[in-house]
Amino acid sequence: MKLTLKIWRQAGPEAKGAIKTYQLDGVSEDMSFLEMLDLLNEQLVHQDEEPVAFDSDCREGICGMCSLMINGEAHGPEVTTTCQLHMRSFNDGDTITVEPWRSGSFPLIKDLIVDRSAFDRIIQSGGYISANTGSAPEANSVPAPRDKAMRAFNVATCIGCGACVAACPNGSASLFLGAKITHLGELPQGQPERYSRVVDMVGQHDHEGFGGCTNIGECAAACPKEIPLDVISQLNKDLRHALKSGH
């Protein structure tokens, strides 16, 4: 395939950025989107040009690093991560626009790379449980109802990629926050800090400058792990209880 790529280039946080256009030939439909960018970077290096900076790690859809807006959609036209998006989703002669996440809470570092350490600080503020140190406890020593265990397992698949923030018109991280709150709140081990956790994590979310949720639903539609929208309801329910009980 031959493609026209319009890619956001920005040398650094304080530099002025702009969309630059590149022509790329020889793209296989079996390539992943990131492999296509690798091919572009090989071409740029051979032309003595600066390669495009972008994030990636596992390239298996589990680390959440490959965060790109592709033709205005978080991770592109398929409900998956960018590294698992394949070029068969595009056609020969297509023009593809590639941009970084656009959020004030995710400051740009270079080209397509943004700083998502705000998510780390939200987790640090309360996304953990109290546990005695020492040897690992027997897995079945703390009984958990199957429905709650399965729900906790399903929402724990959130990889913190930030697609929810990028897709949300308000720049809210409520789906990410709701997934973390629900994951721990469904388990017996998560009960001691359940309500102090939600207060601390919501406070950090707001401190980081993320917007408020107005239940538009773009976050759940863009989530590559299909985290359900109702985790935000659980977040709000726990927050109301915490505030009423004086946590």
Quick: pLDDT tens for 183-192: 999 998 899 9
CATH of domain 116-244: 1.10.1060.10
* Helical H segments across 127-212, by residue range: 146-155, 163-167, 174-185, 194-207
pLDDT interval class at 142 (50, 70, 90): confident
pLDDT at 111 over 80: yes
The CATH number of the domain covering residues in 3-110: 3.10.20.30
Average pLDDT over residues 87-98: 98
Compute how many other C-beta atoms are within 10 angstroms of the C-beta atom of residue 18.
9
Q: 234 and 185 in contact (C-beta within 8 Å)?
A: yes
**What is the band of 139 on the pLDDT scale with cuts at 50, 70, 90?**
low
Residue 169 phi, psi dihedral angles, 5° rounding:
-60, -25
- Asked if 11 and 110 count as a contact pair (C-beta separation under 8 A), the reply is yes
User: Are the C-beta atoms of residues 59 and 34 closer than 8 Å to each other?
Assistant: yes
Compute how many other C-beta atoms are within 10 angstroms of the C-beta atom of residue 111.
Answer: 23
Query: How would you classify the pairing of strands 69-70 and 95-99?
Result: antiparallel
CA–CA gap between residue 38 and residue 44 (Å, rounded): 10
Q: Which residues pair with 108 in a beta bridge?
A: 114
The secondary structure element, H or E, covering residue 121 is helix 117-126
pLDDT digits (tens, 9 = 90+) for 143-156: 889 999 999 999 99
What are phi and psi for residue 76, nearest 5 degrees? 100, -165
Tell me the domain boundaries of the chain. Answer: 3-110, 116-244
